[in-house]
Amino acid sequence: MPRTRTHPAAPAASADLRPGVRRRPQATYRRLRELGPVVPVEISPGLFGYLAVTYDACVYLLRNTPSLFAKDPTDHWEALTSGQIPPDSPALQMMMPRDNALWKDGPEHARLRGAITGALGRVDTYALADTVARVADRLIDAFLAAGQADLVAQYADPLPMLTVIDLFGSTPDHGQRIIQLVTRLFAAGSDAAQANAALEAACLELVLLKRAQPGRDIVTYLIQAGLRDTEMVQTLLLLFGAAAPPTAKHIGRGIQRLLTDERFAGSVHTGVTPVAAALEEVLWTEPPVSNYSPLYARGRQYVGGAPVEPSYPIVISFATANSDPAMTVDYDDRAGNRAHLAFSAGPHGCPAPGLARVISEAAIEHLLLDRLPTLTLAVPADEVPELPGTFLAGPASLPVRFQPARTGR
């Protein structure tokens, strides 16, 4: 989580917030909102910007892109263009401009996003659910005889990426290499720059393979849409990053919620509460992407009455917005209500939230309803560790126990 500190664009705010977010996230979010709708922060050491912390402020920013707020950091992020940010800054790898739809405005954004939505629109959701089940069985069989597992490291984390690798038509070995690199990049650690370079090289290998051997897969569909190699590499990186780590954290948090929350435990197994309802509740209260989607003011702007200066990134706090008491929806009214910002909003909102939901729901249903309905958490609920990062949120591990069994069904 960012820490707040004085920077030239805004008044002084508070001290380091990261420990508070890990230990008492809701209390930290309340503290942020007390400072205003948009708060000056230090996103990572030496990288300054703003954090939007109310629902109305986040919606205003997202829906007024690109008219008032640009997505492309080029010419809008002064510290980046002037070389003030260390090239090995962990957050930089998640925020620097790339040749894909996420970082473009206007016609270029429309062209690149159109290619993505066209390719994803060709995915058969029934076949996707079958793919998830097949991947899930392979992962479960690997730990079934042990009677115990870490469902983050051994299930939630690898499953979405393996599913995406299948949709991309990648070979297993190449796919495994990409999985490891995406995980390192999203961890935003000291090796993020090296992970980014290696990931770009791996994506280029996949593009060249599909140009030579096209198939019925997303990479081929993007090539057919006319994307250049540089655009293909960055678009694949975008899709890997958007589809896999957030979905993994959604699955992990969903399993944790179903095992520990009395509102769901039991009722899901009896069919009273569908898994989808529990997962939607997670998107409301603990979205897997807690802070992201940086924007840049086109000249001085006011957001909820708060001045926002140009030349600094404005990061959207999805977690803080969703918990804003000004718009909080009671639990009983959340069924079917998707007004949360877990998939962002506006022209840069998630292009395929339905596919993400299919992967999460199928993964949890197959694990808890089909394969291991009696598994239990192996540690007290309040001892499940949390991820320490700025952008992703979820359990860092999820130790469970169950009756050992032989593989094969």
**Residues 153-180 pLDDT 10s:** 999 999 998 999 999 998 878 877 887 8
Q: Return the SS3 of 125.
A: helix
Closest CA to 128 of 366, 340, 345: 366
Least confident range of 149-153, 307-311, 390-394: 390-394
Residues 6+ positions from 73 with CB-CB distance below 8 Å: 80, 95, 96, 97, 103, 294, 296, 313
Q: What is the pLDDT of residue 391?
A: 87
Q: Answer yes or no: are the C-beta atoms of 239 and 116 closer than 8 Å.
A: yes
* pLDDT band, residue 380 (cuts 50/70/90): very high
* pLDDT band, residue 4 (cuts 50/70/90): very low
**Average pLDDT value for residue range 239-250:** 90
User: In the predicted model, is pLDDT for residue 191 greater than 90?
Assistant: no
User: In the predicted model, is pLDDT for residue 396 greater than 90?
Assistant: yes
Give the percent of the chain with pLDDT over 90: 63
Q: What is the pLDDT of residue 279?
A: 92
User: In the predicted model, is pLDDT for residue 19 greater than 50?
Assistant: no
User: In the predicted model, is pLDDT for residue 139 greater than 90?
Assistant: yes
**Average pLDDT value for residue range 68-74:** 96
Q: What is the pLDDT of residue 138?
A: 96
Q: What is the pLDDT of residue 401?
A: 96
User: In the predicted model, is pLDDT for residue 329 greater than 80?
Assistant: no
Q: What is the pLDDT of residue 343?
A: 93
Q: What is the pLDDT of residue 9?
A: 44
Q: Let me know if 216 is exposed, middle or buried by CB neighbors in 10 A (0-12, 13-18, 19+).
A: exposed
Residues in the chain: 409
**Average pLDDT value for residue range 41-46:** 84
The rounded distance, in Å, linking the Cα atoms of 309 and 312 is: 7
Q: For 18-401, which CATH class?
A: mainly alpha
**Average pLDDT value for residue range 231-236:** 95
pTM: predicted TM-score of the whole model, two decimal places: 0.90
Higher pLDDT, 273 or 138: 138
Strands 313-317, 306-308: pairing is: unpaired
Q: Answer yes or no: are the C-beta atoms of 160 and 248 closer than 8 Å.
A: yes
Q: Answer yes or no: are the C-beta atoms of 306 and 53 closer than 8 Å.
A: no
Give the percent of the chain with pLDDT over 70: 87
Q: What is the pLDDT of residue 304?
A: 93
Over the chain, what is the mean pLDDT? Answer: 87
* pLDDT band, residue 184 (cuts 50/70/90): confident
Q: What is the pLDDT of residue 274?
A: 81
Tokens describing residue 246: 């957030």
User: In the predicted model, is pLDDT for residue 292 greater than 60?
Assistant: yes
Q: What is the pLDDT of residue 5?
A: 41
* pLDDT band, residue 2 (cuts 50/70/90): very low
* pLDDT band, residue 277 (cuts 50/70/90): confident
Q: Return the SS3 of 176.
A: helix
The rounded distance, in Å, linking the Cα atoms of 338 and 284 is: 8
